[in-house]
Amino acid sequence: MTSTGDERAAMTRAFELARRGPEHDPNPRVGCVLLRPGPAASTAGPTTVGEGWHRGAGTPHAEVAALADAAARGEDTCGVTAVVTLEPCSHTGRTGPCTDALLAAGVARVVVAVRDPNPVAAGGVEILRAAGVEVVTDVLADEGRALLGAWLPAVGADRPFVTLKTATTLDGRVAATDGSSRWITSSVARRHAHELRAQVDAIVVGTGTALRDDPTLTARTADGTLAGAQPLRVVVGHRDVPRDARLRGPGGPLVQVRTHDPAHVLRELAARDVRRVLVEGGPTLAAAFLRAGLVDEVHAYVAPVLLGAGPSAVGDLGITSIAAAVRLEPVSVLPLGPDVLVVATPVREV
C-alpha cells in the first residue's frame, strides 16, 4: 500500500503545521491534516476538512486538534484520511490515546511519516490496522525525522541528545596563556552560537568555567536582547555558584548538579524533560562527556587565529595512540564571516 500525490502534499502541509508547535517542549512537534476523498465518479481530488498541531505538553495532540477543527467547520469525519507526521499514540498520558480518537471519529485511512520510537507510546499503527483502518507508513520519512530533530534520538537513547560546542583557534586553543579568551571567534560566529543556544533545552558548564568566566549562558537575539525562550543553565560540580554570579541574573533557571559523572547529569536533566543539551564549558567537562561516550554531535567553531600555547578545547581523554583517537564524521562545514563551523558526529564502534 502506497501514498498518493495528494497525501504527500498534505504531509508537507502537516510538517508546516507541526513547526508552529513549541521547540522547547518535552513532546515532539506533530502536525495533522484530515482529507475527505473526492467522489468516486469525479476527477476532483480530496478536500481538507480539518488541520491541527500539537501546541505543547498537556494540550490536545495534533490528531485530536485536527478533529476539533473539523467539528468547528461542521465537517463529518467518517471515512476521512488522517495524514500525520508521527505515528498516533496508543497510551494515556496527560491526554488520551490518539488511536481511540481516530477510531471514534470514523477515520478510514491513516498516513504516517515516522513511526514512534517511544515504547510507551508506540503501537498505534497495529491498533489501527487491527480495527480495519488502512495505514501507510514512512511517507516523506526523511523530512519527518528532520522535523523531529533531537527529540527522535533522545527518545531512542532514553536520555537527552548532547551537542558539544567548542570555539577555538586554528591550533585548537580556547584561551591564551594569560587566560584571556574574548573574543576568539567573530561576531558572526557568536551570533550563530546564540541561535544554537536558542534551540536547546539546557546549556551545561563545569564549576571551573562558571567561577572563572562568570558567564550568563543566555540565548540572545541579533540586537543583544534576551531571546523569548531561554534554556536551563546547568552547572556541574561540587563548588557553589556565587550569590552575585551572572548565572543568577536574567535568563533561564539555574540548576546545579553536584556530580562529576556525565551520565548522572543527563539523568537529572531527563527527569526535567530536557531533550537537547549543549555542553559548552571547559576542557575537563568536554573530555568527561567524550570519555563516557555521551556526545552525539560536535559543533566546532574555528577561527583563523594562532596562539601556539594555552588550554585546548578538550582535556585528557586517556588516549595514548592514534589508533585509539576519537574519530568524527563531518556532517557540514559552514563559513561564518572569517570563521568556520564544522558539525560532526562521533564514529561509533560496531
Q: What is the pLDDT of residues 146-170, one digit of tens each?
A: 888 777 776 766 788 899 999 999 9
Phi and psi at residue 143, in whole multiples of 5°?
-65, -35
* Predicted local confidence at residue 350, as pLDDT: 46
Cα–Cα distance measured from residue 234 to residue 237, given in angstroms and rounded to the nearest whole number: 10
Q: What is the pLDDT of residues 96-155, one digit of tens each?
A: 789 999 999 999 999 999 998 876 667 899 999 999 999 999 999 999 988 887 777 767
Res 41 pLDDT > 70? no
Span 233-247, average pLDDT: 94
Cα–Cα distance measured from residue 206 to residue 285, given in angstroms and rounded to the nearest whole number: 6
Indicate the pLDDT class of residue 233, thresholds 50, 70 and 90: very high
Q: Look at residues 188, 195, 201 and name the one whose alpha carbon lies nearest to residue 302.
A: 188
Span 184-200, average pLDDT: 91
Strand order in the sheet with 81-86: 47-53, 31-36, 81-86, 109-114, 134-136
Q: Please identify which residue in the block is written with the cell numbers 560532526.
A: 344
Report DSSP letters for 281-308, one per residue. Answer: S-HHHHHHHHHTT---EEEEEEES---S
Copy the grid coordinates of residue 190: 557568536
Res 271 pLDDT > 80? yes
Span 42-60, average pLDDT: 85
Res 336 pLDDT > 70? yes
Average pLDDT, the chain: 89
8 A C-beta contact, residue 217 and residue 245:
no
Q: Is 63 a catalytic residue?
A: yes
Q: With pLDDT > 90 as the criterion, what percentage of the chain qualifies?
A: 64
Res 299 pLDDT > 50? yes
Q: Which of 63, 87, 280, 297 is catalytic?
A: 63
Cα–Cα distances in Å, from 40 out to 11, 36, 46?
A: 22, 12, 11
Q: Which residue has the higher pLDDT, 284 or 181?
A: 284
* Predicted local confidence at residue 7, as pLDDT: 94
Indicate the pLDDT class of residue 40, thresholds 50, 70 and 90: low
Highest mean pLDDT among 83-87, 174-178, 189-193, 220-224: 83-87
Q: Which residue has the higher pLDDT, 80 or 90?
A: 80
Q: What is the pLDDT of residues 248-260, one digit of tens each?
A: 999 999 999 999 9
Q: Which residue has the higher pLDDT, 170 or 179?
A: 170
Indicate the pLDDT class of residue 275, thresholds 50, 70 and 90: confident
